[in-house]
Chains A and B, each alone.
Chain A
């Protein structure tokens, strides 16, 4: 099968996280740790999952007949709020799951819910399936969920920290994954199915497109209405403590010194062992 004949089914897993500019404070909730005023905090689509979505849309544009699904697990009201913005960016069909999206939930249970939702997509074809997501979330930050989703779907060609995906003429996928020391590992995967946990990629955030938004919103509201309720009890997981770091430095502010004086001080500091 060559590249031109593949109409990909691209499923992006992406949840919501508090806006990075918000101050976060942990509290003890009835079911374990939570964030203070969690439901009141402005939310955004997880940053790395956003990159995955933009890459998926770009890929779908380049391969005729391809389609993008966004599978998102979060409190329904918060999902609705975030989708108002996300839906303006790129075309997708939303599959919403109504459940907790906080960082203290367990990756195993989250992965089970996401995999079940993906398997329920009508006409899912593994020979055309690419599962995308962020390589980590900005909440739990474990980098575990996507691997488990892949395992549950039987996908053993998995890639994490992906910055680039190129489609070769023979239908194979060439992928760059981040490794230590600012380097990438290059791999070639014969064909779908494959799972890619995206790092930053190379695409800028798309500008809002009202036409895309209009089309997306026709599907977003019904998807939210039929969102399946998901419970994540975090079985067997117990938190002894969750705390903010107490380290607040006594900053010495140096004003009115010449560049020479400052430079001498900095060099002495750099050289001190």
Chain B
């Protein structure tokens, strides 16, 4: 019989993030599919009682916690020690974890310590009888596999956005404190803080309804034989602001900077979507001045509705990758789009 552990870290304010509540949905569904398997909760953070109370009604048989100021910041050595201790205390065979940046950088190392196996970026967990399967993508979202593992413990990182978050009433949970003996070596790294662009310079918004993707065409010579990079920057930033959109980019546009060519000043590699970039989840995506070639389009796997503006009617978007391709000048169209959006928000 499996014992399923839901393993999460608390946020800075002591609460649990949406990815954690989504992973909890997976845990509950799996425990049910396994015929009512025992499931328990393990939390790590500066303090875990408030988050445990939020989950009091989730049906867990037991709550385990690793708490203390050393476990507040996201640091490999302390996070790995906490996760290892919680997995051992729970005697878990299946461990389901939200794939946050914090856990993503630690859990495979924990699997190594436990002598178990790990699967990351999992988009589905299911069970038929006693057989558990997970689904994940390979080759940068080009093909999807369903797989099983014989080894235990099996640590499964569930991709944010792939499940509905658990909702339930808070209460008072009894948390069993799990001691972790940290050594001096665990504290050789000091977390200095978070660096982020200021104000409107923050162009990546994971919760946005719209992903706006800029391609290399924005910096190319236009009909008058001249590039219009400043105008492009204004059109894009205005759209982001008016539509509250998140900005993505093709690799080619980001790479132009390294080649010494004019680029959009606010773009970085963090905006890059595709083979060597991100695979964000947004309900809608609008690609502009971008050809929609396969290495870029694989990053759109989890964008539901897709539209594109491109001057080339034979570009990649036309070949079944977008729902609608507008064969048009993106400068002209986006100028009008911004006018209409501004009228709508005035």
Contact = CB atoms under 8 A, between A and B. Distances in A.
A108 B111 contact: yes
Q: Is the interface of A mostly helix, strand, loop or mixed?
A: mixed
Interface string A91-135: 000000000000110111001000000000000000000000000
Contacts of A181: 196, 202, 204-206
Interface bracket on B: 35 or more
A156 B192 contact: no
A150 B335 CA distance: 51
A236 interface: yes
B340 A200 contact: no
B294 A23 contact: yes
B228 interface: no
B320 A240 contact: no
A74 interface: no
B107 to A, nearest CB: 8
A78 interface: no
A169 interface: no
B46 to A, nearest CB: 16
A260 B336 contact: yes
B72 to A, nearest CB: 13
B61 interface: no
B197 to A, nearest CB: 7
A20 B327 CA distance: 26
Interface string B300-321: 0100011101000100011111
B276 A182 contact: no
Contacts of B10: none
A257 interface: yes
Nearest to A160: B105
Contacts of B202: 181-182
A142 B119 contact: yes
Contact of A239 (B76, B147, B195): B147
B119 A159 contact: no
A1 to B, nearest CB: 14
A55 interface: no
Contact of A267 (B109, B301, B306, B340): B340
A161 B194 CA distance: 14
Interface string B260-278: 0000000001111001100
Interface in A234-254: 235-245, 248-254
A233 interface: no
A210 to B, nearest CB: 21
Contacts of B50: none
A191 B185 CA distance: 11
A162 B186 CA distance: 20
A182 B204 contact: yes
Contacts of B313: 253, 255
A10 interface: no
A216 interface: no
Interface string B49-73: 0000000000000000000000000
A20 B275 contact: yes
A269 B307 contact: yes
Interface stretch (B30-38, B131-139, B172-180, B216-224): B131-139
Contacts of A249: 306, 320-323
B325 A253 contact: yes
A139 B138 contact: yes
A126 to B, nearest CB: 12
Given A107-B118, A190-B188, A251-B323, A237 B139 contact: no
A33 interface: yes
Nearest to A175: B189
A269 B308 CA distance: 12
A155 B209 CA distance: 40
Contacts of B210: 270
Interface in B186-235: 186, 188-197, 202-206, 209-210
A236 B137 contact: no
Contacts of B337: 263, 266-267
Given A108-B117, A151-B112, 12 more contacts: A33-B145, A107-B118, A141-B138, A150-B109, A183-B195, A187-B189, A235-B150, A237-B117, A242-B145, A243-B145, A251-B317, A267-B344
